Amino acid sequence: MIICFDCSGKTNAMMDELLARGRYASVSELISIAIANQVVLETQVSDGESLTIGERESVKQKVSAANGKPSSKPTKKRRTVREDPDGSGQSHRRVEQKSVLFLLDGLDTLNRLSGSLPDDYWTPGMEVPLDRWVFGQHNKLLPVKASCRGLAHLLKDDPKGIFYDDAANRISGDAIILGDLLLECDGKHKIDRDKALSTAFPNSIDKSGKARSRYANQFVASVNKQGQVSGALIDFKLINYKPGKRPRLILTESGWEFALMRNPILDEHCGPHSIKFSEEEVKFFLNHIAANVRAEDFAYRAILQAIVGGANTPDLLDTMLRQSVPDERTQRVTLSFLSSQRSGAVSRMSDLGLVERVREGVRVTYLPTDLGRDFINRERPQE
């Protein structure tokens, strides 16, 4: 849909200022979010509620409290946030005020059952075609971490496996709450879009349910007509499943290890310089994919080698990757699909600190980090 409207110079300047902060990909996204926010505001007003910004009580509440009488109208429970009490620049609202499903607290590390690793078609040294890389839409790893943690909690009640649809429904529902917190953190600390914590998480702004459904299918599990489970968790061999009409999900030993590692976002505070993963988590994940997820290991190496070789922009990298696609597979690898596969892999590599994206206006340049150079120089594991 194309909409034309009159825009004053003042409004245009404000839009330019918001876009310059890097939180919005385009004017279209900015306007869409503004409209969604306005709907929320007007819904509150239409329900007869006053909308208070901050932590102050309404006059009516204060008078009622002073007289020892309850307010004539029940009020919604308010979540209290201590805004930067120690001057550190960090928000001290932790995830448990939103959802315990993603916390390390309460997990039993002693009594756990692990599923075997899913089979891997690829053997060390094999070239993995681009269309067999991990799906590009699985573009972030913090949702992978959160879903592993959530599944670990659910397995406490049923250690032999959780029905995939129950797991997807419960975890994606709580992911909305976590997504709201991360979105708030991104906005408060002006975290740019390349490092945004809330990307790929659903949030309460989306009333259509599409974001939640996408999270459930991509970052928990979905099942096809043949009963085969797909999604980021099984692609990364962090879960396996027990077949049936309703397959049951279970964490692999690698999935348990990843779930039980402390995480700077889920278990600490969200601040302006927050990192998504600890050094321990990054080391574990890179070792895990090198040994067990050879398609991802191959993708990282191919991209890093291409960047080091000079293909350090999206277009140059796409051109080089296109040249590596065998003739018999070119019909399956369209330009848009290739770009999606490249973008998803680069985004995951950025989460792990293997590459950096440098933006100059609309131009993006990829730079390998020291960790990225070390990764391509180390030996591949052998059978």
Q: Do residues 35 and 108 share a domain?
A: no
The structure tokens listed for 202 are 């659903």
Within a domain: 16:
yes
Q: Label residue 16 by pLDDT band (50, 70, 90).
A: low
* pLDDT band at residue 119 under the 50/70/90 scheme: confident
Residue 33 pLDDT: 62
Q: Are residues 247 and 190 in the same domain?
A: yes
In a domain, 70, yes or no: no
Last residue of a domain, one of 48, 70, 87: 48
Per-residue pLDDT at 381 exceeds 70: no
- Alpha-carbon distance of 337 to 136, in angstroms, equals 8
Domain span at residue 4? Answer: 1-48
Kindly state whether residue 306 falls inside one of the protein's structural domains: yes
Regarding whether 179 and 39 lie in a shared domain, the answer is no
Work out the pLDDT band at 120, boundaries 50, 70, 90. Answer: confident
Tell whether 15 and 100 lie within a shared domain. Answer: no
Cα separations in angstroms, 22 against 19, 72, 183, 259: 6, 44, 14, 31
- Asked whether residue 33 falls in the same domain as residue 117, the answer is no
Same domain, yes or no, for 119 and 216?
yes
Write the pLDDT tens digit of every residue in 210-229.
999 999 999 999 999 999 99
Q: Does 131 share its domain with 3?
A: no
* 36 and 174, same domain (yes or no): no
pLDDT in tens, 20-37: 544 455 556 557 666 655
Does 46 score more than 90 pLDDT? no
Please state the rounded mean pLDDT for residues 292-317: 95
Tell me what pLDDT residue 215 has. Answer: 97
**Residue 65 forms part of a structural domain:** no
- Pair 100, 237 in one domain: yes
Percent pLDDT > 70 in the chain is: 72
Examine residue 169 and state whether it is found in any structural domain, yes or no.
yes
Q: Determine, yes or no, domain membership for 63.
A: no
The total domain count for the chain is 2
Considering the domain boundaries, does residue 278 fall inside one?
Answer: yes
pLDDT number for residue 6: 63
Examine residue 74 and state whether it is found in any structural domain, yes or no.
Answer: no
Q: Is 233 found in the same domain as 169? A: yes
- What is residue 281's predicted lDDT score, i.e. its pLDDT? 98
Is 169 in the same domain as 299? Answer: yes
**Which residue, among 65, 60, 150, has the nearest Cα to 99 in the 3D structure?**
150
**What is d(CA 115, CA 250) in angstroms, rounded to the nearest whole number?**
6
**Is the domain of 204 the same as that of 284?**
yes
